[in-house]
């Protein structure tokens, strides 16, 4: 079973993931312009893109635990997943900047004054060095530093989930589920005695 999954995963070319991400984004804009996202398409776009980005980050975080605990190997696509997540976050940010808030003073005031936006922006800024070093040359040149640098993903994931939790009004379950799943995936990486025995 696991072998079959791994074989089919290997057969999927990674460029398909990039293509799907771009196609999905274009499709969302098309829906937004033609009424498919409802009466308030700007907010709908922000939400859709934000949630998709968080899902991609979560899948990216799951790659290592899946291999360690279930021998399912998605490592070949991890870069495509990560870069796609960055792309969707970038579009999410651009929609907020240019379609939603629009003026510089409002943008600046929001980044400084609104904790959930400060947190979201911090997450985006932390993604920048990861996106820039997502190429073979950087991996080779940076070596151990690259591996340490890309642990920033953990912080990015937590910031993204907290950003989502903070936007919700009232007591809403879904954002908390994202936060819990991400926290769980990070806990799996700790060398806890409990987990070590299970591996053995």
| Residue numbers at the binding site for another protein (CB under 8 A) | 29, 32-33, 38-45, 99-102, 106, 109-110, 113-116, 166-167, 169-173
Q: Kindly list the distances between the CA atom of residue 38 and the CA atoms of 12, 31, 43, in Å, as whole numbers in the listed order.
A: 34, 9, 10
- Is the CB of 113 or the CB of 140 nearer to another protein? 113
Closest distance between another protein and the C-beta of residue 32, in Å?
5
Q: Which single residue is written with the structure tokens 């804009």?
A: 29
CA distance 149 to 5: 30
Q: Which single residue is written with the structure tokens 């790659």?
A: 63
Q: Tell me how many helices (H) and strands (E) the chain has.
A: 11, 0
Closest distance between another protein and the C-beta of residue 170, in Å?
4
Closest distance between another protein and the C-beta of residue 110, in Å?
7
> Other CB atoms closer than 10 Å to residue 102's CB: what's the count?
10
- Is the CB of 2 or the CB of 33 nearer to another protein? 33
- Is the CB of 149 or the CB of 166 nearer to another protein? 166
CB hemisphere CA count around 158 (13 angstroms): 9
Q: For residues 177 and 55, is the Cβ–Cβ distance under 8 A?
A: no
- Is the CB of 7 or the CB of 102 nearer to another protein? 102
Closest distance between another protein and the C-beta of residue 193, in Å?
37
């Amino acid at each position: 079973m696991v072998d079959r999954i791994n074989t089919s995963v290997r057969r999927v070319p990674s460029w398909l993931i990039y293509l799907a991400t771009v196609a999905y984004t274009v499709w969302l804009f098309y829906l937004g312009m033609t009424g498919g996202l409802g009466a308030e398409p700007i907010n709908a776009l922000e939400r859709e893109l934000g949630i998709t980005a968080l899902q991609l980050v979560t899948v990216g975080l799951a790659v290592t635990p899946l291999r360690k605990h279930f021998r399912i190997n998605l490592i070949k696509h991890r870069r495509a997943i990560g870069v796609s997540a960055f792309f969707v976050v970038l579009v999410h940010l651009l929609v907020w900047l240019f379609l939603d808030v629009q003026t510089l003073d409002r943008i600046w005031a929001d980044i400084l004054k609104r904790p959930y936006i400060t947190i979201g922006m911090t997450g985006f800024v932390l993604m920048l060095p990861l996106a820039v070093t997502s190429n073979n040359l950087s991996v080779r040149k940076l070596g151990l530093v690259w591996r340490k640098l890309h642990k920033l993903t953990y912080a990015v994931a937590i910031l993204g989930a907290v950003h989502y939790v903070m936007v919700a009004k009232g007591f809403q379950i879904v954002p908390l589920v994202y936060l819990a799943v991400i926290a769980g995936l990070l806990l799996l990486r700790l060398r806890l005695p409990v987990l070590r025995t299970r591996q053995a």
